[in-house]
Amino acid sequence: MKRAVYPGSFDPMTLGHVDLIERGARLFDELVICVGVNPSKSAFLSVTERVDLVTAVAAPYDNVRVCQHEGLIVDLVRSVDASAIFRGLRTAGDLEYETPMALTNRSLLGGTETVFLVADPRYSFISSRLIKEILRGGGDIRAFVPPAVAEHLESARSRLTAGGGGDADS
Ligand code: ADP
């Protein structure tokens, strides 16, 4: 059984994340999406909101499950008995950021490989940060996120315009 962990902030989930989930679900026997709890990052959406949205969007995939995790990713990799960490590459900047992470994780837990998929060009410009910028500016985010996420973000928009968190990620 080839199981991979797909970690991320998902603050909020975008169509780029969905594309990666779809492709990861085909590549691995099981994909465990891990919504990161990072006390040092100020997130826009709560962990519960992020987990609920990812769970709703990933529901059609039989071999995908969702969890939340605080701490080292390798601890989750070990506890769910995964052999890979799954990540997406949009830009050279992503690769620069990801390479030391992948090497560190392999060093911390021998045998842990990080598998990267190059972002689909239709979505490679989309980031959670971009969505928050559009929301903050009063724009329409529906072309960039799944419908369930768009609906939730509309109701949460006032939190951002009131100066809520969410600047600390990609
Ligand atoms: P993190 O804070 O861990 O980078 P993100 O939610 O921003 O969390 O991203 C999680 C993963 O999803 C990363 O590997 C990122 O490269 C990938 N990703 C994010 N947006 C896209 C996209 N538009 N296309 C492909 N992969 C993406």
Query: Taking Cα atoms as reference points, which of 11, 20, 80 lies closest to residue 48?
Result: 11
Is 26 in the active site? no
Per-residue pLDDT 10s for the chain (170 aa) are 999 999 999 999 999 999 999 999 999 999 999 999 988 888 999 999 999 999 999 999 999 999 999 999 999 999 999 999 999 999 999 999 999 999 999 999 999 999 999 999 999 999 999 999 999 999 999 999 999 999 999 999 888 877 666 655 55
Reading the block at residue 91, the tokens are: 């830009």
Integer Cα distance of 149 and 132 in angstroms:
12
Reading the block at residue 166, the tokens are: 């969410």
Catalytic site residue from 17, 69, 87, 132:
17
Is 41 in the active site? yes
Is 124 in the active site? no
Catalytic site residue from 50, 69, 87, 128:
128
Whole-model pTM over 0.85 = yes
